[in-house]
A and B are shown apart, each in its own frame.
Chain A
Amino acid sequence: MTPYQMHPARIIEVRIEAESIYTYVMRFIDPEVRKAYRFVPGQFNMLYAYGVGEVPISIVSDPAEPTRLEHAIRTAGRVTSVMTQWKVGDVVGVRGPYGNGWPMDAARGREVIIVTGGLGCAPVVGVINYIFRRRDQYGALHILHGVKTPNDLLYRERFDAWRLHPRTTVYLTADHPDKSWRYRTGVVSDLFDQLRVDPSAIVMMCGPEVMMRYGVRALVQKGISEDAIYLSMERHMKCAVGVCGHCQFGPQFVCKDGPVFPYPAVKRWFGASGI
């Protein structure tokens, strides 16, 4: 079978999350495919819009309900601008799941620090919800999120809701705040000043590479070991199985060796430009 084989799925629900960001809930049409499908947080699917193309999109729903797949899609390029016109009842193509996902087993019993930046960060939304559903299995949860301007803060209500959970802290910061901004000012790594972390904490990070670079540096200074820091990387992908060549980052294929990497696995190339 070609690795590009996909299966039709039907959109059963659409939710608007923010301007130009929608969450699509979908189910495979073929009951056999639906029954066999399993995933873990941090994995992604290749979603296909008829006649337009395919893009990799994180799965944000809970793996306990693998027949119901949620994907948050932001209008960004040619393919996603078609996808964000999808309606309930539309049939789309899905293949997956791909990638390795977040280290949820390694994180069990430990404090979890989630660091994100930029416009929404679907890979960590899934993991945050996953932890809340299994709250007693994980230690304290720290969510740190940085944006350029207050307008870039999507899911504001969601952050506010998350901070109400027990053993959960949420820190938000903007590089360029305005008068309405109630949170911190500065880049996301500045947030670590006020963070008291357990040195055995595990870190899951997702966002622009420059943010992750400063984030790693600040965390290591706080005594977190490099191999406790996991990064979700983004690259151009066509195949999602390591044969099209596009997503290479050094010797790693982001699609099949990642998208989540322990920092030491990518450290050598992380600071260089043009990799």
Chain B
Amino acid sequence: MVALPRADMTECLSLPKLRLQELIDRLWERNFRVLGPILRNGGVVFDQVRRVADMPVGRREVQQPGRYQLAPGADGEIFGVVNGPGSLKPSFFAPEEALLAIRRAPRGFSVDEVIPEAPRLAVLGVRACDLAALAVQDRIFLHDRFRDTHYATRREAALLIAVNCTRSATTCFCVSMQTGPAATQGYDLVLTEVDDAFVVRIGSAAGEAIVADLQLAVADAGAVGDAEARVAACAAGMQRRLDTSDLPQLLYDEVENPRWADVAQRCLSCTNCTMVCPTCFCHTVVDVTAIDGAVSHRVRQWDSCFSHEHAHIHGKNFRPHIRDRYRQWLTHKLASWIDQFGTSGCVGCGRCITWCPVGIDLTEEVAAIRAQRSSGSAK
């Protein structure tokens, strides 16, 4: 749903925690498929939620470079886990999907767009960094020269119920990227978890319609103040920082910085960072032909600038070394993205740090590049 401009939302509502199930039920009744944070293979991803208990209630996670572990959290805390490897990206930009069906005909072939099946999604527990990442992907798939049908069909039907972060993982740096921890745009509703209730703000007409069903009471000033204080404390306590003051210029100037060779010694070029990144949009298109040859599908798949084939053309690979690929990824993410789309490609979610098998931390790499810069005042 398209969020309204940030309207006058002086009034907050209160959703008792015990009534969160009602909210989920209303969404299903309104023919939304409800996604929320669920535990899978030891990590949190967004997937189908029917019951509050489907979510990792009472759990938190410990995140460090190359490390992710679930831990006991506060009793009854519903959104205690900040994030996991699964962003919202796969819900809208599918990891693999057919775009075109090309069918052999007596004289040639016909070309038909494969219209995606798109259940209306309502996503519960979307973080501010996730919303920022969606806005980044919207610029690529909706607001650039072409509007991508497949992305648009899912994206524009979706209802987003955000949760303001009241704790951060050690890998989070959304404050530096100015994307969080409070959700400021792109949501239909935003919840802030306090002791036994959620303080609810409305972000769109669609969000308003959902809470109208629930007939919520106005939140009292104490609860609103508590919610604001928790989010402010989360922001103040965030440890990791990325200095963006000299970007994009720093990375443009430092094409030959010795740090690129250093990080290439550690990077496995495994593509994990690009798979968990909520904004990475690189993809390839492959042809999948039926065994009888009657139909061939053009299928889009996520790709990565760390893959060997990414910059490969007949007989030449423009980025043969890991150094070239890490430099491309980091420079694109933090610098050239700004020239291309008017925004950084990084939202500070920290996933690439946690899910890097060798714990490469982009905030540390940028600092090291800056410390070893070849030009400018720091020389």
Contacts and interface: CB of A to CB of B under 8 A. Distances in A.
Contacts of B335: 251
A243 B141 contact: yes
10 contacts: A8-B110, A93-B111, A235-B311, A236-B312, A241-B144, A242-B340, A245-B305, A246-B311, A268-B255, A269-B255
A53 B311 contact: no
A250 interface: yes
B314 interface: yes
Contact of B282 (A3, A93, A245): A245
Contacts of B150: 2
Count class of interface residues, chain A: 35 or more
A91 B328 CA distance: 38
Interface string A78-113: 001000000000010100000000000000000000
Given A52-B287, A246-B282, A272-B256, A29 B108 contact: yes
Q: How large is the interface on B (under 10, 10 to 19, 20 to 34, 35 or more residues)?
A: 35 or more
A29 B296 CA distance: 20
Given A2-B113, A50-B102, A251-B340, A274 B327 contact: yes
Given A242-B144, A273-B324, A4 B102 contact: no
A180 interface: no
A238 B145 contact: no
B111 A2 contact: no
B283 A241 contact: no
B287 A268 contact: no
Contact of B108 (A1, A91, A243): A91
A194 interface: no
Given A4-B298, A51-B293, A245-B282, A274 B100 contact: no
A77 interface: yes
Given A77-B315, A239-B283, A245-B283, 6 more contacts: A52-B287, A91-B107, A238-B283, A246-B303, A250-B252, A253-B340
A243 B146 contact: yes
A275 interface: yes
Contacts of B110: 8
Interface string B245-261: 00010001001100000
B281 interface: yes
A184 interface: no
Interface string A211-233: 00000000000000000000000
Contacts of B147: 1
Interface string B312-342: 1111001111011001100110011001100
A62 interface: no
Nearest to A250: B336
A16 interface: no
A116 B269 CA distance: 35
Contacts, number: 134
B289 interface: yes
A53 B287 contact: yes
B109 A8 contact: yes
Given A5-B111, A76-B315, A51 B140 contact: no
Nearest to A249: B318
A6 B100 contact: yes
Contacts of B67: none
Given A50-B104, A50-B296, A93-B102, A243 B109 contact: no
B330 to A, nearest CB: 13
- The CB with the most chain B CB atoms within 10 A, among A243, A256, A269, is that of A243
A5 B150 CA distance: 12
Contacts of B108: 8, 10, 29, 91
Contacts of A8: 108-111
A236 B336 contact: no
B145 A51 contact: no
B311 A244 contact: no
Nearest to A89: B107
A107 B252 CA distance: 31
Contact of A4 (B100, B305, B319, B324): B100
A234 interface: yes
A135 interface: no
A145 B57 CA distance: 70
Nearest to B319: A274
A148 to B, nearest CB: 14
A178 B327 CA distance: 43
A248 B328 contact: yes
Interface string A31-63: 000000000000000000011111000000000
B99 interface: yes
Nearest to B253: A268
Interface string B100-121: 1010100111110100000000
B285 interface: yes
B240 interface: no
A3 B332 contact: no
B285 A238 contact: yes
A244 B285 contact: yes
A238 B281 CA distance: 13
